[in-house]
Amino acid sequence: MATLTFDIETSALPHDAFDEAQWEFLFREADRLPDPAAREQKRAEIVQQLNLWPLTAQVVCIAMVNVDTDRGQVLFLSGDSEPKADQDSTVEFVPCPDEAALLASFWDVARHYEHVVTFNGRSFDVPFLYLRSAVRGVAITRKDWIGYRYSTEPHCDLADQLTFYNVSGREGAARKFNLDFYCKVFGIDSPKSHGVTGRDVNQLMSEGRYIEVAEYCLRDVRATVALYRIWKERLAGIK
């Protein structure tokens, strides 16, 4: 039964995508602060967070790999880039003209998979994809990926599994760490070890460095696959 691992990268929509009333809503919390310096700091923090919300950002890249074959695709926004292959020719890089085309291509692939593996996908990637697809009017072929949190079928979210469903809270023995931390502990090549992080995506997109975003997203997926194999061999089945 085929298993898909994927990760997404997102980038804030341009300033003129929102009207005055929307900006007033976004900055409402900041504008309530009486201190001008604190107010400006909070506004800056909100601007940095815009790429995390599906109503203020778009999907700019989706990397996906078949866990069983290690073959996959990276779909990324770029109107003028040429397709390229991963170094071992197992992954195809596919430029997409817009977000709607990117999402449609992803859902066309996703419908062929019975299982999906993510890191933090239940709380971020999947709802982000669902809402952006709804905004763009793109048909969703798998509507069962939020699923029952305490099940690994059809969606195994490693962030849930490695915290044993947040059994000990933020500060306990099974507290949640980021993917980079888990990778370093388990001896996996961290996607952040190559000089690019998720915080760089907005700037890289604005500079037209689309391939660098795509390569970073693929490194996230490769790391997730490696972590999934460790979890499946050593931890799966613990209740």
Q: What is the pLDDT of residue 168?
A: 86
Q: What is the pLDDT of residue 198?
A: 77
In a domain, 197, yes or no: yes
Query: Over the stretch 131-184, which tens digit does the pLDDT of each residue have?
Result: 999 999 999 999 999 989 899 999 999 999 999 999 988 889 999 999 999 999
In a domain, 239, yes or no: no
In a domain, 14, yes or no: no
Residue 218 belongs to domain spanning: 3-9+63-234
Q: What is the pTM of this model?
A: 0.94
In a domain, 47, yes or no: no
Query: What does residue 118 show for φ and ψ, rounded to 5 degrees?
Result: -140, 170
In a domain, 52, yes or no: no
CATH number at residue 101: 3.30.420.10
Q: What is the pLDDT of residue 83?
A: 59
Segments of the chain scoring below 50 in pLDDT: none
Q: What's the structural domain count of the chain?
A: 1
In a domain, 186, yes or no: yes
Q: What is the pLDDT of residue 80?
A: 66
Q: What is the pLDDT of residue 149?
A: 87
In a domain, 91, yes or no: yes
In a domain, 16, yes or no: no
